[in-house]
Amino acid sequence: MSDISLERLRRDDPLYLVDGDEAGFNLVRAPAADQARFDALVRAAMAGAGDEFVALPRSDGHTGYDAVYILPLGNGA
């Protein structure tokens, strides 16, 4: 997933539900989403974080993720 950007993460996707607030937004794995694909998205978001946003993953209690909080930085908000 090389197209990880703040704009891309804010878009609707079958992998996740977007739950936003004024500071940022959560990407919560959709109930029917493939766990491995969602985990790959979360890892790509963490790797792509930097000047535009911070990605804070939430463990599913096992070896994957069930959500990631995206915190926009600077003028990305």
Query: Whole-model pTM?
Result: 0.86
20-75 residue pLDDT tens: 877 899 999 999 999 999 999 999 999 999 989 999 999 999 989 999 999 999 75
Is 42 among the domain residues? Answer: yes
Is 76 among the domain residues? Answer: no
At 74 the pLDDT is 79
At 64 the pLDDT is 94
Do the bridges between strand 25-29 and strand 16-20 make them parallel or antiparallel, or are there none, so unpaired? antiparallel
The domain total for the chain is 1
Is 25 among the domain residues? Answer: yes
Is 58 among the domain residues? Answer: yes
Is 32 among the domain residues? Answer: yes
Q: Whole domain around residue 40: which residue ranges?
A: 6-71
At 76 the pLDDT is 43
Is 51 among the domain residues? Answer: yes
8 Å CB contact between 53 and 72: yes
At 77 the pLDDT is 44
Q: Longest Cα pair distance anywhere in the chain, in angstroms?
A: 35
At 56 the pLDDT is 96
